[in-house]
């Protein structure tokens, strides 16, 4: 095995052990926020690199190669960090549904990148926190406290300032990252509600299997149909020839994918979907940085204000909980019972209790 692969695996093992150790000193909601911040940093960089290379790669080809590399890395991490007795996973409907949602998310978002500026695509995609809060309320019947609703609203307002949805900027291609946002939010809710007991590395492996199968299907379908590519090389090309730098880029994207898939799964196990969704907005901050550095997209005044609002929403969501109490009519042991009135505090307590049952990553 090449030395750099061994070094990467050792580095990832250290990250996972540190992450597990964090549980001793930090609340699960805080852990989830930190993990998702690291994930969206790498995710934004990965997406920017995909847009840079979209004139040399094909979407199906990218899925096949990136997922194959990521699956090998994840399998190596499983071998060195998960006991043999704990590797017997039953990838049920919830795990496959989550992977299908994320596969659809990446397909829709990457399909939009050749047609949209990177900052615009990122802003349209980050309507996902709003979708997460709505889906948590509608599908799970969970109470979302007023402070978190306010944080989501402020973050969404920041997204609107960056997006500026007027007739001159919104195109049909802008609907693709909006669809990606909905699918991502649905995947987050599925993870929080039905996949908390799943091993994150196992879910990451399942996701890469799903992406690889989708990419293989796309390559075979395009080869059989023989559609003219026209201006849509990234979407309709079957298998372009890759140079040395392209292979290096695909390898780097595969390594990023292994980290991202594991970290996102872990974040949604540790914290409620609306909380993770708010901190997910940091993707837009990182995307703005890559847009300036890679594509020369200078943010406007309204765009800068939007990013500031997004940061403020993250701070609002991370403020310490204040739990109000009220006396109950029944007493136990001579002491009056108390109950929290803040639904946000209830969510934090539930997240802490559930996280204690999550296997260490």
Is 361 among the domain residues? no
CA–CA dist 98, 261 (Å, integer): 11
Residue 295: the pLDDT is: 93
DSSP 8-state secondary structure symbol assigned to residue 167: T
Residue-level pLDDT at 328: 46
The residues near 204 (Cβ < 8 Å, ≥ 6 apart) are 70, 74, 258, 261, 262, 265
Let me know if residue 326 belongs to a domain.
no
Tens of pLDDT, residue by residue over 168-214, are 556 778 789 989 989 988 998 898 888 888 888 888 899 999 999 99
Q: Greater confidence, 52 or 352?
A: 52
> For residue 281, is it within any domain?
yes
**Beta-ladder partners of 332:** 335
- pLDDT of 36 > 50? The answer is yes
Domain membership of residue 316 (yes or no) is: yes
Would you say residue 343 has pLDDT above 50? no
The model's confidence at residue 317, banded by pLDDT at 50, 70 and 90, is: low
Domain containing residue 299: 3-320+339-355
Spatial distance between the Cα atoms of 297 and 14, rounded to a whole number of angstroms: 36
Q: Cα dihedral sign for 260, 263, 265, 267?
A: negative
Q: Which residues, 6+ apart, have CB-to-CB distance to 191 below 8 Å?
A: 98, 203, 265, 268, 269, 273
Indicate whether 329 belongs to any domain: no
How far apart are the C-alpha atoms of 322 and 342, rounded to whole Å?
A: 7
- Report yes or no on 117 lying in a domain: yes
Look at residue 25 and tell me whether its pLDDT is greater than 90.
Answer: no
On whether the CB atoms of residues 145 and 275 are closer than 8 A, the answer is no
Interatomic CA distance for residues 105 and 181, integer angstroms = 7
Residue 360 included in any domain: no
Question: At 302, is the pLDDT very low, low, confident or very high (cuts 50, 70, 90)?
Answer: confident
So what's the pLDDT on residue 175? 85
Give the mean model confidence (pLDDT) for residues 34-59: 93
What does the alpha-carbon distance between residue 109 and residue 175 come to, in Å, rounded to a whole number? 9
Q: Into how many domains does the chain fold?
A: 1
* 333 part of a folded domain: no
pLDDT at 35 over 80: yes
pLDDT of 51 > 90? The answer is: yes
**Partners of 219 in the β-ladder:** none
pLDDT tier for residue 128 given thresholds of 50, 70 and 90: confident
pLDDT at residue 41 tops 70: yes
Which range is least confidently modeled, 83-92, 293-302, 344-353?
344-353
- Spell out where 54-190 has E strands: none
| Model pLDDT, residue 253 | 95
pLDDT score, position 6: 41
What is the distance between the alpha carbons of residues 1 and 152, in angstroms, rounded to a whole number? 46
Among the residue ranges 61-65, 117-121, 146-150, 237-241, the one predicted with the least confidence is 146-150
Q: What is the mean pLDDT of the chain?
A: 78
pLDDT digits over 247-286, tens only?
A: 999 999 999 998 888 888 788 778 876 677 677 778 888 9
């Amino acid at each position: 095995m090449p030395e750099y692969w061994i070094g990467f695996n050792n580095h990832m093992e250290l990250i996972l052990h540190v992450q597990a150790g964090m549980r001793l000193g930090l609340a699960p909601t805080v852990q989830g926020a930190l993990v998702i911040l690291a994930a969206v940093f790498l995710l934004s960089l990965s997406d920017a690199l995909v847009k840079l290379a979209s004139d040399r790669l094909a979407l199906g080809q990218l899925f096949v190669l990136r997922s194959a590399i990521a699956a090998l890395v994840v399998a190596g991490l499983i071998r060195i960090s998960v006991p043999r007795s704990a590797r017997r996973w039953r990838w049920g409907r919830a795990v496959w549904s989550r992977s299908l949602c994320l596969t659809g998310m990446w397909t829709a978002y990457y399909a939009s990148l050749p047609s949209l500026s990177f900052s615009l695509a990122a802003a349209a995609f980050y309507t996902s926190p709003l979708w997460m809060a709505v889906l948590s309320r509608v599908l799970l019947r969970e109470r979302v406290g007023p402070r978190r609703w306010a944080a989501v609203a402020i973050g969404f307002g920041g997204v609107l300032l960056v997006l500026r949805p007027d007739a001159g900027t919104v195109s049909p291609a802008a609907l693709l990252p909006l669809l990606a946002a909905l699918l991502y939010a649905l995947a987050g809710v599925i993870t929080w509600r039905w996949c908390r007991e799943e091993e994150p590395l196992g879910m990451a492996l399942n996701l890469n299997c799903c992406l690889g199968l989708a990419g293989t299907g796309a390559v075979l379908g395009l080869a059989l149909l023989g559609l003219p590519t026209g201006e849509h090389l990234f979407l309709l090309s079957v298998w372009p020839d890759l140079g040395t730098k392209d292979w290096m880029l695909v390898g780097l994207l595969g390594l990023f994918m292994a980290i991202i898939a594991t970290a996102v799964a872990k974040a949604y196990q540790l914290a409620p979907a609306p909380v993770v969704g708010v901190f997910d907005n940091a993707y837009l901050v990182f995307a703005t940085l890559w847009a300036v550095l890679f594509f020369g997209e200078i943010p406007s005044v309204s765009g800068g204000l939007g990013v500031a609002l997004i940061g403020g929403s993250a701070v609002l969501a991370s403020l310490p909980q204040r739990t109000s109490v009220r006396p109950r009519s029944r007493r136990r042991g001579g002491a009056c019972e108390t109950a929290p009135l803040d639904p946000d505090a209830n969510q934090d307590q539930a997240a802490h209790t559930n996280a204690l049952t999550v296997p260490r990553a």
